[in-house]
Amino acid sequence: MIMSIGLYYSVFSAFKGSGIKEVEYIKGYYACVAGLRYASVLLKDPNGIAFNGDNYTITGTEHGGDFFNDIQTAPAKLTVTITKITGGADAGKYDVSASYAY
Rounded Cα–Cα distance for residues 99 and 81 (Å)? 9
pLDDT, mean over the chain: 86
pLDDT level of residue 7 (50, 70, 90 thresholds): low
Q: How far lies 102's CA from each of 22, 67, 75, 77, 86, in Å?
A: 11, 19, 13, 7, 32
Looking at per-residue pLDDT, the higher value among 45 and 12 belongs to 45
Taking the model in full, what pTM does it have? Answer: 0.77
Mean pLDDT of 35-53: 93
Rounded Cα–Cα distance for residues 83 and 70 (Å)? 24
Q: How many domains does the chain have?
A: 1
Is a pLDDT exceeding 80 seen at residue 5?
A: no
Domain of residue 23: give its range: 2-100
User: What pLDDT digit, counting tens, does each position of 65-99 carry?
Assistant: 899 999 988 889 999 999 999 999 999 999 999 99
